[in-house]
Each structure stands twice: as C-alpha cells, then as structure tokens.
C-alpha cells in the first residue's frame, strides 16, 4: 500500500539546510499497524507529514498504491497530540466535523459518530462540550473524529503523549479494537516502547537526526491483544530488544 524508497527531507536553503530524513525506505502492507519509534527530532513526524501530503520529500520516492503522493490521500484519517476540538461545538458536532468539511450531509454520518462514541465509552457525552471533558475523554473524541469517514489509512502523531499512564493504557486498548474492527492501515508515531509493541504488527526504529531506519521489527504477538499480553515473556523480549537498540545508539544509559 505504501512504498517509501530512499526518502530524503531537508529544510532550509542549500547552504544552511537541515536534513531531517536520510534515505528512508519502508514498505507497508494494507492492514498493518506500524509504529515509528525514535528520539525527539529524529524525523518521525516529518515522515508522517510526507505520507499525509503536507510535506514533500526533497529526493526519493513516496507512493501509495503505486501513485506518487501529491496531496492528502483519499480516505485519510489523522490524529495528533493536541486534540484540536472546537470548544463551541458539542462532542457529537466535533466528531462530525470531517463530514462537514468534506461537503457531506452530517446527518448521514451521525449513526456512525454515535457508534464510535459508544465504543470508547462516551455514549452519555454526545451533547457535552469539550470544557467538561477530561484530557483522556477529549482524545477519545479526537480519535472518533479521525475514524468517522471510515479511513483506509490513519496517521497518528503521539496522540496519547500528554496523558497519564492509566488513561493512556485504556486508549491503547480502544485504538487497538477500533483499528482491528475495520482492518485499517495505521502509521503511529510514539516515544513509548511498550505502546509501540502493544499496538503494532511492526515497529520501525529511527536513528537520531538525520532519521534513518535502524531496525524493522515484526511483532509476532496475537492479532487480538489485551493489556495482559504485556506480562508475557514474548512482550518482554520485544521491549528489551528495542531498548537494547537505543542503548547501542547511546540514547538510554543505566
């Protein structure tokens, strides 16, 4: 579905340019959940923006379904660390925004919006306003909004990074169930090793800037996952292996 071949991204003029990505080559199959893991400033978010058609690669090739990315792909959903909810809209109206922006009839998508909200435990909050919600509830609304139009591809840039550990765990479970149900393709940026292993079919580790692919790790855990899987030996093996990669790069010290 996605093919990145020797993607380089530089910012600035030629004499004062900064290289964010340096020769990124990744293939992503339809239905995979791929996490991009690496230190701050390594180009993970830049690569995500290139996939979204927001940024253009300086050199190299970036294709979806064999076609160059020249703008936001069709059936794309996006979610970010900041939920960007509109305070003057209630929860249901916020989830329906993609339909509104896409020139579609919102009432046609209201059943889907209500279904998504019910799936993440917000059935009783459809008429609440964002100011009445906790941080985790706001992120659930943002997640539902990104899934409203049944995207084929969802790009997520640290959507749970600012949340407490318990809320983050629950949202990991919610996101896993939602993406599994629809068999959508996901590319997920995170700094959390355990989050990446729990959610992903593959974890791709980036080096410090300029970003290069250090490892592409296929996660062989059961497709359907519960939080208890984090207590398994297999889960521990994956997290220790990835932590070891960061130690070799000098990014984690005892």
pLDDT digits (tens, 9 = 90+) for 39-95: 988 999 999 999 999 999 999 999 999 999 988 888 888 888 788 899 999 999 999
Residue 180 to residue 198: CA distance in whole angstroms = 13
Claim to verify: residue 10 and residue 56 sit in the same structural domain: yes
Q: Is the pLDDT of residue 254 over 70?
A: no
Q: Note whether 167 and 47 are same-domain residues.
A: yes
| Largest CA-CA distance found in the chain, in angstroms, rounded | 56
Residue-wise pLDDT for 209-225, tens only, equals: 999 999 999 999 998 88
Model pLDDT for residues 134-167, shown as the tens digit of each residue: 988 998 899 899 989 889 999 999 888 878 888 8
The per-residue pLDDT for range 24-54, each reduced to its tens digit, is: 999 999 999 999 999 988 999 999 999 999 9
Among candidate residues 150, 184, 208, the one where a domain is terminated: 150
CA distances to 40, 138, 185, 195, 205 from 229, in Å: 27, 27, 22, 12, 21
Domain boundary among 132, 150, 168: 150
The whole domain housing 21 covers 2-75+151-248
Considering the domain architecture, whether residues 159 and 143 belong to the same structural domain is answered as no
> What is the CB neighbour count within 10 angstroms for residue 172?
20
Give the DSSP per-residue string, 72-132: SPTTEEEEESS----TTS-HHHHHTHHHHHTT--HHHHHHHHHHHHHHTT-GGGTT--GGG
């Amino acid at each position: 579905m996605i093919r990145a071949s020797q993607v380089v991204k530089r910012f600035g003029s030629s004499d004062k340019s900064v290289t964010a990505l340096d020769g990124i080559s990744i293939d992503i199959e339809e239905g995979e959940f791929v996490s991009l893991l690496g230190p701050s400033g390594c180009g993970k978010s830049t690569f995500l923006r290139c996939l979204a058609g927001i940024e253009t690669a300086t050199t190299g090739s970036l294709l979806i379904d064999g076609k160059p990315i020249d703008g936001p792909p069709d059936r794309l959903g996006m979610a970010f660390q900041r939920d960007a909810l509109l305070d003057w809209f209630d929860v249901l109206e916020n989830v329906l925004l993609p339909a509104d922006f896409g020139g579609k009839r919102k009432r046609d998508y209201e059943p889907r919006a209500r279904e998504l909200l019910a799936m993440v435990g917000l059935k009783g909050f459809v008429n609440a306003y964002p100011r009445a919600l906790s941080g985790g509830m706001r992120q659930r609304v943002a997640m539902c909004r990104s899934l409203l139009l049944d995207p084929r591809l969802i790009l997520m840039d640290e959507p749970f990074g600012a949340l407490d550990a318990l809320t983050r765990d629950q949202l990991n479970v919610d996101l896993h169930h939602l993406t599994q149900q629809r068999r959508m393709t996901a590319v997920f940026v995170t700094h959390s090793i355990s989050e990446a292993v729990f959610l992903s079919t593959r974890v791709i580790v980036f080096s410090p800037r300029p970003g290069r692919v250090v490892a592409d790790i296929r996660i062989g855990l059961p497709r359907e996952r519960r939080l208890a899987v984090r207590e398994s030996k297999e889960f521990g093996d994956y997290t220790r292996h990835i932590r070891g990669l960061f130690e070799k790069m000098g990014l984690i010290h005892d």
